[in-house]
Structure formats: C-alpha cells, structure tokens
Structure 1
Amino acid sequence: MEFDAIILAGGRSSRLGGVPKSRLVYDGATLLERSLRAAGAAGRAVVVGPDPGDLPDGVLTWREEPPFAGPAAAIAAGLDALAADHAGRPGDAGPAPFTLVLACDMPRSAAAVRVLAESLAVSLAAAKDQHRGDGVMAVSEDGRKQPLAGFYGTAALQRSVTDARHRGSLENASVFALLASLDVREVRVPPGSTDDVDTWDDASALGISGRFPHLGPGSGPEPRS
C-alpha cells in the first residue's frame, strides 16, 4: 500500500510549560524520532511545526499558517508540502493514494500504525472495484476515536481541506469537522498505542521522566527520587 505521511508537531505544549512534545524522550528516542519510525514505510513524509532541527534525509519540514493554527490547518499545510514536493520531481506520479496523519505526542504509535496499515490493506484487497471508503482511523481500547492516527484517502482529504479553505474554517478547526465528509472506518488498535502526552503526569505515566538532554540543562521535570 502506497502512502505519504504528515507528522504533526506544532502544538504550543502549554501544559508542559512550552517544552516541545516532539523533543521529549521515550525509550532512548525523541517522540518525533519515534513518529518518523512509525511512518517509515511512507513514500514521502513531512513534519509540520516549528523547526525540528536535523531530520532524516528526504523528510520535509513545513509550517502551518498562521503558526499554532491547530491540527486541521497543519494537515492542510502538510498536504500542500507533499503536493509541491511531488510536483517538483520530474516523472513523479503525484501524491500517494493515502496519507498517514500522525501526531507526534503518542510514544507507542508504531503499534497503532501497523494495525491500521494492515487493516486498510486487507480492505483494499477485498474491495477490488467496489467503493473502498476513505481510510481508517484509530480507536483506543476504551472506544476513544483518535483522528490524528489514521490513513486517509489523499484526494478525499484534499477535497475536505479545499472546502474548509473556501469557507474560511481551517484555522483552529476541529479535525473531526475536517474529516466529517469522509467515509472513514474505525479500527481498534492495541492498548496504549494512542496514549498521548499533554501534561507532565501523562509523561511520567508513559515512562517519560527526568531531564531531557535534547533540550539542554534545566528542561523538563526534575528527576524523581
């Protein structure tokens, strides 16, 4: 299954005192590094948010406009970046049929991405020439939908973004509103795979604790005794 990936890394992290979630460390890697690994099978990938610093070769970086305009605006910016990148490559067939949208604040998201990809691949194989829907979205063990962990039909997602732009309703918009017109199937993903980090308590519960060397001295909570 061919897909591109949009990694969302542009939130204010206000409940973390402004410490970028993308730079928090879990099991020896930053959350951004883990998200990029989860999306490693993507043909092209873009990180949307503030300058993330060094990125693997071929990974794009982009910024939503205006900055901190929310995940719907970030998804739109990511689609723009991917489309421009494909258009700039001679002989490129254009964006992949599906786009993985993944927030970078879920340290165990690789398990969710794997199940979503497998489920979508099975659906595509079974659908053949029938309507195959517009993608799949993660649902946690307790039934909570997570739209920032999903594979969406690129053309359908672009239509939704275009409609939202025409209405002037992208900035600070709900991602559920952006996806409302899509025929998306909900897929139950492994326990904990969509748990995200909003507070230092969340970070501690997920095994993210102590100082964060990527951020320099004094960043993050004090080590626990």
Structure 2
Amino acid sequence: MRYAGIVLAGGSARRLSGVDKPALSVGGKPLLARAVHALDGAARVIAVGPRRPGFDVVWTREPVPGTGPVAALAAGLVFVPEDAEAVVVLAADLPGVRRSTVDRLLAALGDGDGAVLVDAAGARQWLLGAWRVASLRAALPAETEHASLRRVLGGLRITEVPAERGEADDIDTPEDLERHR
C-alpha cells in the first residue's frame, strides 16, 4: 500500500520548560529522527513544525503555529501525494516507535478508516495511527484551530492495535525523559 507519513513536530513542551522535544536525544538519537526512521517506507514524509536541519522531509507549519494537532494535521495533509491511499500520523516525541509499528498499523487498516495504537491501559494513542487519506480529509472540520483530535477522529471506523512494550510511550515530562535515557 502506498502511504505518506506526517510527523507532528511542533508544540510548546510546557511540562518540559519549553525545550525542543523533537530534538531531545534518547539512546543517542533525536526523537524526531526516530519518527522519521519509522516512516522509511513512506512515499513522502511531511514534518509539521519549526524547520530543523538534517532531515530529508517536506517541512510545513499550520497557518497559526500552536493551534493544535488538528490544525497541524490539516497543514501536513496538503503535501500528501495524490496517489497515497493512507497516511501514518506520528507525534515527534515517541521513543519506542519503529518501522514495525508503522507496518502493523498499515496492516490493521483493512476496510476501516483508521488504525491506532492502544496503550497498556487501553487508551487510544491518536498520534500513533494509520488513516485512509480520503477518510481523514473528510473528517477534518472547516475550522481546525484548537479542534479536539479525539472528537475529529473518534467517529471514524477505527481498528485498535495493541502496543508492544514501550511502543506507545511519549516524552512529556522530565521523568519520562529520564526513564528512556
């Protein structure tokens, strides 16, 4: 299946004193590099956020930076190739995301609209999913700024994919970062 990847690499990182989270190193590799590497099979990778050197991706920003993941997702969708059937959406703060994660999400799409990773507590990880491009575009509201990602995507036909150990972890706090260093 031909797919594109969108990495949401903006955000304010308030709980990490405003640090550039995608640039944080875990295991000697920046978090952004982990997300981009997980998308190695994509026809195109789009990163939504401030431009960072050293990445072979298409860079874009939401019209008003800081207006949330739905606005960032809409900005990234503009650059998804017309012939892509699916788009994998990843946050840029996922230390455990791998190519095998992306492969499992794409395989789980089936006839549905999307497939999302579900953590050990049973919570859907909205920024760790694969989506049919047409379904995603149709689900986006006219006003994307500050829209709820859960509300926008929650009405779609979604397959839940159980996360493997550490795969759904993200870095939101100094404690999260310490746990993964």
Secondary structure of the 1:179 match is helix
- In structure 2, the residue matched to 1:191 is 165
- In structure 1, the residue matched to 2:29 is 29
Aligned with 2:145 (options 171, 174, 183): 171
Secondary structure of the 1:141 match is coil
* Cα offset, 1:191, TM superposition: 1.7
Aligned with 1:112 (options 101, 120, 140): 101
User: 2: CA distance between counterparts of 1:206 and 1:76?
Assistant: 31
- In structure 2, the residue matched to 1:10 is 10
User: 2: CA distance between counterparts of 1:118 and 1:200?
Assistant: 34
User: 1: CA distance between counterparts of 2:92 and 2:168?
Assistant: 10
Secondary structure of the 2:66 match is coil
Percent of aligned positions that are identical:
37
User: 2: CA distance between counterparts of 1:193 and 1:151?
Assistant: 15
User: 2: CA distance between counterparts of 1:117 and 1:101?
Assistant: 11
User: 1: CA distance between counterparts of 2:105 and 2:123?
Assistant: 15
- In structure 1, the residue matched to 2:77 is 79
User: 2: CA distance between counterparts of 1:52 and 1:200?
Assistant: 22
**Within 5 A, what are the aligned runs for 1:125-136?**
132-136=111-115
Unaligned residue ranges in structure 1 (runs of 5+) = 87-93, 124-131, 208-225
CA deviations over 1:123-151 (Å, ceiling 9, x no partner):
3xxxxxxxx11121110122121010000
Secondary structure of the 1:81 match is coil
Query: Does the CA contact (< 8 Å) of 1:138 and 1:186 recur in 2?
Result: yes
- Bigger radius of gyration among the two: 1
Provide the aligned length of Structure 1 versus Structure 2.
180
Secondary structure of the 2:138 match is helix
Amino acid at match of 1:96: A
Query: Does the CA contact (< 8 Å) of 1:116 and 1:189 recur in 2?
Result: no
User: 1: CA distance between counterparts of 2:40 and 2:151?
Assistant: 28
Amino acid at match of 1:70: G
User: 1: CA distance between counterparts of 2:106 and 2:139?
Assistant: 22
User: 2: CA distance between counterparts of 1:144 and 1:181?
Assistant: 16
Secondary structure of the 1:109 match is coil
TM, length-normalised to structure 1 = 0.76
List structure 1 runs of 4+ shifted beyond 6 angstroms. none
* Cα offset, 1:117, TM superposition: 2.9
Relative to its length, the structure with more strand (as a share) is 2
User: 1: CA distance between counterparts of 2:147 and 2:162?
Assistant: 25
- In structure 1, the residue matched to 2:58 is 60
Amino acid at match of 2:138: R
User: 1: CA distance between counterparts of 2:103 and 2:84?
Assistant: 18
Query: Does the CA contact (< 8 Å) of 2:2 and 2:83 recur in 1?
Result: no
- In structure 1, the residue matched to 2:125 is 146
